[in-house]
Structure 1
Amino acid sequence: MNPSLFSFFNRGVASIFALSFGIAAAPNGFCSDVFRGNETFQSFNKAKKILEHQVIFDHRVTLYCNAPFDKDKWISLPPGFTTQVHKKRANRVEWEHVVPAENFGRFFPEWREGSPMCTDNRGAPLKGRKCAEKSNITFRLMQSDMYNLFPVIGAVNAERGNKNFGLLSASAENTFGSCAMKISSNRAEPPKYARGTIARAYKYMAYAYPIFKLSKEQERLMDVWDRQYPVERWECVRTKRIERIQGNENPFVKQPCIEKKLW
């Protein structure tokens, strides 16, 4: 069968399945003409493994602290890195959703209210991430989207949680010593070298998944960071590899990479 017809057939089957079982239909994005996101991976664990072995295999460095890590996921912490909590997670790599799963998950009714598909062993209703993952294909696709997944120090991932990014006061101290990541109250300020990458991941997620909406404040901040911190070679390499594997584009990275002849 012609590959394009095969792809069309698969999408049609997926759409019928989704409508039949109520797990993903417009406006959630999967069946919409404006859906531009991941349609390849529904498994978060599979996406992480592919990222590790096929995308960042020759650039094993964490996003926020530029800390190298080996094939066993053990991190060489930068000199002066400290953490007051989550010490057991300080030497291990974890994969962080730069746009936190909770921040896009709350747009799904299954996360907020539950679903008939989600009950515990006693038949009591469940909601939250596990329910959204079980009952909504669009959530699974978003959760597994490799453009939004980055290796980070586990302790940093734990402390950041689902906090929005923003700028803190000039007097705010680094939360992790020599790593220029600042977390205070409900906000996280990333190092300057990570801001452009973060911004283009946020803009991509809002572009690719119509269900997800950025606040006006976050939208303005990401536009500023996108302009202030342009693409560099590694971001272009990473994005090009993901496009080849996942099958869809992040135009907020691809276009400037092409313009800079880094694609």
Structure 2
Amino acid sequence: MNVFKGVLIGGLVLMSGSVVANESNPSFNKAKKMLERQVYQDHRETVYCGASFDANKNITPPIGFTTTKHVKRAKRVEWEHVVPAENFGRAFSEWREGHGQCVDSKGKSFKGRKCAEKMNVEYRYMQADMFNLFPAIGAVNAMRSNYNFTMLPGVNSEFGSCQMKIDNRKAEPPVSARGRIARTYLYMDNTYPKYSMSKQQKQLMNAWDKTYPVSAWECQRVKRIEALQKSKNPITQSRCETAGLWKKSS
């Protein structure tokens, strides 16, 4: 794993004078729009199933894709947090306990994602980090939920030809997605002090990172996000440099 030493400033990690964490855009909705229009505009393909989608968010599923759940959402693309928002959101007191200002129109207190988003700017920056957002078929996003990734031998996919497996609150992604998923987890773990992988999850992600190398598209995606978000992804960049898909800095 690529390890870097950073300086902690205002809860965010900086490296060699360059911003690593997202601190330019706290809006999840704006992040989704930028990804659709300025990152994926010529590569409209979902992360897990390789489905195509158009500028109006309509999905064209791959041949053999099926689902019996969330059928309406299967027709639309959604932007998936590969590292689920809950996995880092639980680190914020507003998510766990709520806040005095998290009260709805009926006077009822609330907590969780809605409260963290309302009251904590650091959470909003993490939630809107485009390096952690990937297009997914809505039904697959819904069924993956906030489940951790693992290997699920003997489990069959519920999505027909798309080998995304979900069982007992765990998920196993298709081979084609594992490298990108691993490097996203490693990026979030290295970048945000509020998020930390378990030892078991980190071992799996390190293994997937080594087994499934970067592609030209993965490197292009990161370059585009860096330009828009004005922050670095040293995990993926280093793998791209090693693969000769990214010119090394002098």
**Structure 2 length as normaliser, TM-score?**
0.91
Partners of 1:33 and 1:204 in 2: CA distance: 13
Q: In structure 1, what is the equivalent of residue 170 of structure 2?
A: 187
Equivalent pair of 2:73/2:138 in contact (CA under 8 Å) = yes
Q: Does 1:86 align with 2:70?
A: yes
Equivalent residues in 2 for 1:128-147, closer than 5 Å: 128-147=112-131
**Is 2:183 the partner of 1:200?**
yes
Match of 1:4 in 2: none
After superposition, residues 20-99 of structure 1 pair within 5 angstroms as: 31-32=10-11, 34=13, 36-99=20-83
Look up the equivalent residue of 1:51 and give its one-letter code: L
Q: Structure 2 matches for 1:84-163, cutoff 5 A?
A: 84-163=68-147
Q: Does the Cα contact within 8 Å between 1:102 and 1:129 map onto a contact in 2?
A: yes
SS at match of 2:60: coil
| Aligned match for 1:175, one of 150, 158, 162 | 158
Q: Is the 8 A contact 1:166 1:221 kept in 2?
A: yes
Alpha-carbon distance, 1:121 to partner: 2.3
How many residues matched?
A: 234
Distance 1:127 1:228, change over 3 A: same
**Distance between the aligned counterparts of 1:72 and 1:52, measured in 2?**
10
Q: Is the 8 A contact 2:179 2:213 kept in 1?
A: yes
Task: Return the alpha-carbon distance in structure 1 between the equivalents of residues 11 and 35 of structure 2.
Answer: 27
SS of aligned partner of 1:60:
coil
- SS state of the match for residue 90, structure 1? helix
Which sits farther off after the overlay, 171-180 or 113-122?
A: 113-122
Deviation at 1:33, TM superposition (A): 6.2
Q: Deviations over 1:210-251 (max 9, x none)?
A: 011111111111100000001110000000010111011111
Partners of 2:65 and 2:96 in 1: CA distance: 37
Choose which of 179, 182, 194 in structure 2 pairs with 1:211: 194
Partner of 2:226: 243
Report if aligned partners of 1:30, 1:138 keep a CA contact under 8 Å in 2: no
Task: Measure, in 2, the Cα distance between the counterparts of 1:156 and 1:255.
Answer: 30
In structure 2, C-alpha distance between the alignment counterparts of 1:240 and 1:76, rounded to whole Å: 27
Distance apart, 1:32 and its partner CA? 3.7
* 1:250-261 correspondence runs (5 A): 250-261=233-244
How many angstroms apart in 1 are the aligned matches of 2:159 and 2:140?
A: 8
Matched, 1:229 2:212: yes
Distance in 2, matches of 1:111 and 1:30, equals 23
Q: Gaps spanning 5+ residues in structure 2: where?
A: 1-7, 15-19
Question: For 1:253, what is the secondary structure of its paired residue?
Answer: helix
Deviation per residue, 1:47-82 (Å, 9 max, x gap)? 000001111110000000011111111111111111
Q: Secondary structure at the match of 1:42?
A: coil
Where does the alignment leave 5 or more consecutive residues of structure 1 unmatched?
1-28
Structure-2 residue corresponding to 1:11: none
Residue 94 of structure 1 aligns to which amino acid in structure 2?
A: E
RMSD: 1.3
Q: Are the counterparts in 1 of residues 188 and 195 from structure 2 also a CA contact under 8 Å?
A: yes
The aligned counterpart of 1:26 is none
Aligned equivalent of 2:4: none
Greater helix proportion: 1
Shift of 1:175: 1.5
Give CA-to-partner distance per residue, 1:159-192, whole Å, 9 cap, x none. 00000000002x2111100001100111000001
Return closer, same or farther for 1:33/1:102 CA change in 2, 3 Å cut-off. closer
